[in-house]
Chain A
Amino acid sequence: MICPFCEAKTAGNPCEGCGRDTTARRRACPKCHKMSPFGEATCCHCGHEFRNEMRWKIPAIIVMFVAATAAAVAVELFIR
């Protein structure tokens, strides 16, 4: 079988080349699009630092609700 991380041929698990668990949960690097183990903070191919998506999603959701509330208050104060 081919190791999903180092892409070398290996007879079993863990990989004989890189020593990683070949069945481990993995994520695609947004920069080089290759697979890295989920437990590693950086891409094992290009070194790209993984960031949690929630780092931008939660602030974006909060901003959206604050904007909706501000718009509702503005309509109530200035238009009606």
Chain B
Amino acid sequence: MAKLTDDSINDVFTPHLQEGETLKHWAFGVKQPSMLIIVPLMALAILPGVIATQMLTKSYLIAMTEKRFLVLQIKSMGNAEIKEMIEYDLTGFAGNPAKTKTGSLFTHITIEDEAKPFKAKFHRAFSKSNRANALAMAEALSTA
């Protein structure tokens, strides 16, 4: 499994960009199942619990362009095959549906949109630029 790099992430997003759009920031993140599911599964059996948690974890690539915020759900960190895509027009962020939170390890981004909800966390250790990019997007979303 080859790890995603800046170039490969550019290649993943390029077919989904509109004319004249360029990627400003990108980040890789995950959405794990609730702790209310993880803890009982781990308590039942450790190895099946770990496997089940991994099976229920979703991997995301997010990116921001001049006009849009793009979310791609991909198969895994090593396989950037797209499963699902959500796009948000940055001009349509009235009412501020985006909630962001930053800790020492993770940057959390949540978009409370009825038709297109999104929630994921972005670890700083994924790449050198992951935290800076996630923070820049979180900042842009919360002030959009």
Contact = CB atoms under 8 A, between A and B. Distances in A.
* Chains A and B are bound partners: yes
Contacts, number: 52
Contact of A23 (B44, B47, B52, B87): B87
Interface string B21-49: 00000000000000000000100110110
Interface in B94-144: 115-116
A61 B53 CA distance: 10
Interface residues of B, number: 23
Contacts of B87: 23
B45 A69 contact: yes
Nearest to A30: B83
A26 interface: yes
Interface residues of A, number: 20
| 4 closest residue pairs by CB, A with B | A68-B45, A64-B48, A61-B52, A27-B84
24 contacts: A1-B19, A4-B16, A23-B87, A23-B89, A24-B115, A25-B84, A25-B85, A25-B116, A26-B84, A26-B86, A27-B85, A28-B81, A28-B82, A28-B83, A28-B84, A60-B55, A61-B41, A61-B56, A64-B52, A65-B41, A67-B48, A68-B44, A68-B48, A69-B44
